[in-house]
Amino acid sequence: MTDDEQSRDEQADDEKRRQRERMQEEARTRTDEEEPMRVDSGERLGDLDEALESHEYPATTTELVEAYGDYEVETQGGKKPMEDVLSATDDEIYDSAEDVHRRILTLIE
């Protein structure tokens, strides 16, 4: 009977060792992955965020460009006026500042 008990203990130890090896391998694999670009979106839009928060919604792209088109937005290619960033879109309707914020971030990424 002790052989059976010893055999079970060895199997359990082997399983623990294999699990540890799998976890180590997974960790090594993850270190090779690229991390997604983290964006501090408030920083990216600067003063524009505050202005958008105070705007009345729903609002169209045209209304927002008329009101805030001159605000500078940090893009990967440098700063651009909000008007230039939103010029790639149709006249959309935004229900909140968060909607506009997300749309701008999508366009500048």
**Which pair of structure tokens corresponds to residue 42?**
């408030």
CA 108, CA 73: separation in Å to the nearest integer?
9
Please answer whether residues 51 and 73 qualify as being in contact, where contact means their C-beta atoms are separated by less than 8 angstroms.
no
Q: CA 40, 62, 49 angle in degrees (round to 5)?
A: 20
List the domain boundaries for the chain: 1-33, 41-108
Distance CA(89)–CA(87), nearest Å, equals: 5
Contact present, 97 and 55 (Cβ < 8 Å) = yes
pTM: 0.58
Contacts of 60 (CB under 8 A, 6+ apart): 91, 92, 93, 94
24-55 pLDDT, tens digit per residue, is: 777 777 666 554 444 444 456 878 888 999 99
Query: 79: pLDDT confidence band, cut at 50, 70 and 90?
Result: confident
Can you read off the two tokens belonging to residue 91?
């006249």
